[in-house]
Amino acid sequence: MSDFAVDIETLRKRYSNGVEALAGVSLQVPYGSIFGLIGPNGAGKSTLVKSLLSILRPTECRGTMLGEKIGNKSILAKVGYLPEHASFPDYLTGRQVIEYAAGLANVSRAACRSRCDMLLEKVGMTEAAGRNIRTYSKGMKQRIGLAQALINDPVVVFLDEPTDGVDPEGRIDFKNMISSMRGDGRTVFVNSHLLAEVEQVADRVAILTKGRIIKQGLVEDLTRRDARYEVKFHGQMPVALLEWCHQQQMKIEGDRITCRADGPLQIQPLIDRLRAALVVIREIKEEKFSLEELFLQAVTQSREESAAAKGGTR
Amino acid sequence: MIQAYTILLDSLRMLRASKLFWVSMWISLLVAIVYASVGFTPTGMSVGFGLWDFDVPVIREGSAESEVFYLLLFTDVIVRFWLGWFSLVLAIISTCSIFPHFLQAGSIELALSKPLSRLRLFLMKYLGGLLFVAVQTGLFCLVAFVAIGFRVSEWNVSIFWAVPLITFAFSLIYCVGVFIGVATRSTVFALLGALLFWAVTLFAQWTEDFVYKMAYVLPEVGLSVDMQTGELQETPEDASSGIKKTYQRIQSVTKVLPKTRECTISLKRLIRFQERDSMLAGVDLGSVFAGGDADPVVKEAMQKYELRHSWFTIIGTSLIFEILVLALAARIMIRRDY
């Protein structure tokens, strides 16, 4: 059996109007991980998820999900999904929405009853479960959406922009709920353009732009690749030390020295020199590139490459 | 099985939430009560549970005509005009939004991401829409069944044929609404398209009906229409071959169209009098009031007129039409990206 819950060898989607939404995407999502797919609006994130769930038909698709060929409807029994801008029938109550999703997923009534109560409690909607969904706020609808995605006890859960329209408190709850899914042994695939949120929960990320994956891997690896340290000091810096810092390609701004380093060993000489010069060290911080910086860097690089390629073609 | 039950339950919940469903239901109940309030006295009939009495010698308590009259009131007035007309308009208005709403972004994805084939989803959703009419007609027939049982002492289960027939008649218009709704995802287009189509088919059926009477019924009873004055005149001659040819042409057009009106009318063919083992077809309210004095030639001509179409012409061709339209709608829904 494959180690990956989702293993896409190649996925291509070209719409009938000629727009290429996905230009041969390849990615792997290990079992039990939280995978974040990030990218600007229109990058093809939702198209990718919808292709995996047979909501739209990919032009070309080779790969497996939960060990079965992508497109096989039967695997959807083990999959949960919260679509972007989910719209539930407004004549149903919160509980009925979950029961409806359970019925469509072929969950037995007994299993549905026991899981429904548990999930309502988990998403904090027990009290409002009997109310009509049209009386819910956007955040409450998203909570019910999350519960319905989990009603069939899925192995993989796809969440498309799950915190869209949710207030800050709700976002923290969502983050905790997503983390707890990993604790339950589920694989979570999160689509989002809110990079900070993805960074907080995801183990692995892929950056998708214009239908192509331009970077993917463990969040730790991706952000560490260009790691840097920041040292804050107090007092005067001797000129000799300043010159040494410049020679070492370190950047000095006010009371702050920034240097690139792959690990703590590389900044020990700086600490030694500062101590020797009796400069007070106030703070040493390992600074990684945020996902946002990484994303912007990757997107800019991709744009430059495609511009260069176009120029070359001319 | 769980999936089918879920979709049908959802359809029922949707109907329950629809104001028009309840409006239609209350009017149905009112009509059913008015129907049940019609009774018979030793000298005639009464309306409003005995509130108003009318002396009608032919239709009185215990007479054979009273039973026929009571059933004809059901088939020729209530089924034809309320269930087969006004109630269907309300049903079309209520149900034309089912597919456009279901196909909205954010809604359809939830259903398509489940282990359920699109065709099955489409068909179950379609059947769910038919519940609007089936439930109403079923309840109405139940009240009518009890009323007939008490009024004429015959528990005639054959009146329940109204449920499949009226539901089928509705489905012939509803399928067009579904097709347009799936293709355009617009409730307005679906509703207008379905109503327009219904109007066209009704016009075609009325024309066929009228021309048949001119070409066959009137000559059979020795009458013809004076084309100058528009009045009926007695003529023993057979109809001209011209009008018969016109009828053949009209019939070839109406053959391919669904026959909503015919379905409703054909209920009379299915209602049987258990004790006399006779059919209702060919009998109308006029002949009941005429009692035994009804002209046998007219009666025979009317029977021929009501039985002029075979079941295949009424149900078969309509069913073929419905299957074709549904197949097209299903194809669009199945092949589309959402």
Residue A312 confidence (pLDDT): 61
Q: Which residues contact A63 (CB under 8 A, 6 or more apart)?
A: A6, A7, A8, A9, A10, A11, A69, A70
B252: helix, strand or coil: helix
Minimal-distance CA residue of chain A relative to B9: A100
Q: How far apart are CA A23 and CA A144, in angstroms?
A: 34
**Domains and their CATH numbers in chain A:** 4-220 (3.40.50.300), 228-287 (3.30.70)
Residue A58 confidence (pLDDT): 94
Contact residues, chain B, for A83 at CB < 8 Å = 106, 109-110, 113
Per-residue pLDDT of chain B (338 residues; tens, 9 = 90+): 899 999 999 988 988 888 888 998 899 889 989 999 998 888 888 998 888 988 887 788 877 778 788 888 888 888 888 888 888 998 999 899 999 999 988 889 999 999 999 999 999 999 999 988 999 899 999 998 998 888 888 888 988 999 999 999 999 999 999 999 999 999 999 999 999 999 999 999 999 999 998 888 888 777 776 666 767 666 655 656 778 888 889 988 888 899 998 888 888 888 876 655 555 555 677 666 666 556 777 778 877 888 888 889 899 999 999 999 999 999 999 999 88
Contact residues, chain B, for A104 at CB < 8 Å = 3, 6-7, 110-111, 114, 116
Pairing of strands A4-14, A79-82: unpaired
The pLDDT tens digits for A265-278 are: 888 999 999 999 99
Q: How far apart are CA B252 and CA B144, in angstroms?
A: 37
Residue B288 confidence (pLDDT): 67
The whole-angstrom distance between B94's CA and the closest CA on chain A is: 14
The whole-angstrom distance between A270's CA and the closest CA on chain B is: 55
Q: How far apart are CA A249 and CA A257, in angstroms?
A: 10
Distance of CA A123 to the CA centre of its chain: 20
Provide the 8-state DSSP code for B240.
P
Contact residues, chain A, for B106 at CB < 8 Å = 83-87
Minimal-distance CA residue of chain A relative to B18: A91
- This model of the complex carries an ipTM of 0.79
Q: Which residues contact A24 (CB under 8 A, 6 or more apart)?
A: A10, A11, A12, A60, A212
Contact A40, A34 (CB under 8 A): no
Q: Do A87 and B6 touch (CB under 8 A)?
A: no
Backbone angle region of A152, left / alpha / beta, with phi > 0 → left and psi within -120 to 50 → alpha: alpha
Q: Do A106 and B16 touch (CB under 8 A)?
A: no
Read off the tokens for A47.
């198209």
Residue A93 confidence (pLDDT): 95
Residue A302 confidence (pLDDT): 76
Q: Do A84 and B10 touch (CB under 8 A)?
A: no
Residue B282 confidence (pLDDT): 59
Residue A74 exposed, middle or buried by CB count within 10 Å (0-12, 13-18, 19+): exposed
Q: Look up the pTM and report it.
A: 0.82
Read off the tokens for A91.
């004549």
Contact residues, chain A, for B117 at CB < 8 Å = 73
Using alpha carbons only, give the angle A105, A109, A110 rounded to the nearest 5 degrees.
Answer: 125
Q: Do A148 and B110 touch (CB under 8 A)?
A: yes
The residue ranges of chain A whose pLDDT is under 50 are none
